[in-house]
Amino acid sequence: MKFEFCVSTERMEATRSGTIWGDVWVHFDGHAYPEAGWNDLPIVFALELIAAVRQVSNHPGKAKVRFFDGPFWIEFETADDGACSIRSGSGDEVALAPREFAHVVDHVDSVARSLAHACASKGWGDQTDVRRLTALVEP
């Protein structure tokens, strides 16, 4: 897959305030961005990523997703024919045909669903952002 959403659910931790930290990153043609094992807010990032890919899959245009720790971002831009370009703040870029981008949208939903299940299994299912994520990805 040219673009991949990665989360390490084994290393997630919740603070006393309920904030969930963990490793979250993306791959562009096998290159990790910002880096493999990037420690950030995986639930919130997943919420933003889902919103972005769904927005541009339904309406041609641009959507940017920022990592919450550091100056890192990825941007999706779709054309009228459904083709998509995905860029990172460091210059990585992939071009996807409409069918390939549809697989990316499904992949993001699948990873987010696994993330929501992992949070529930750790006893964090009542956390606000986890409830929001679960509502987005469960049928």
Q: Give SS3 for 120.
A: helix
Structural domain 3-137, CATH architecture: 2-Layer Sandwich (3.30)
- pLDDT band at 27; cut points 50, 70, 90: very high
CB 105 within 8 A of CB 54: yes
Distance, CA of 16 to CA of 27 (rounded, Å) = 31
The whole-model pTM stands at: 0.95
- Check pLDDT > 80 for residue 139: no
Distance, CA of 4 to CA of 134 (rounded, Å) = 20
Find the length of the chain: 139
Q: Where are the domains of the chain?
A: 3-137
Between 69 and 48, the more confident residue is 48
How large a percentage of the chain has pLDDT more than 90? 94
Report phi then psi at 40, rounded to 5.
-160, -155
Q: What is the pLDDT of residues 94-134, one digit of tens each?
A: 999 999 999 999 999 999 999 999 999 999 999 999 999 99
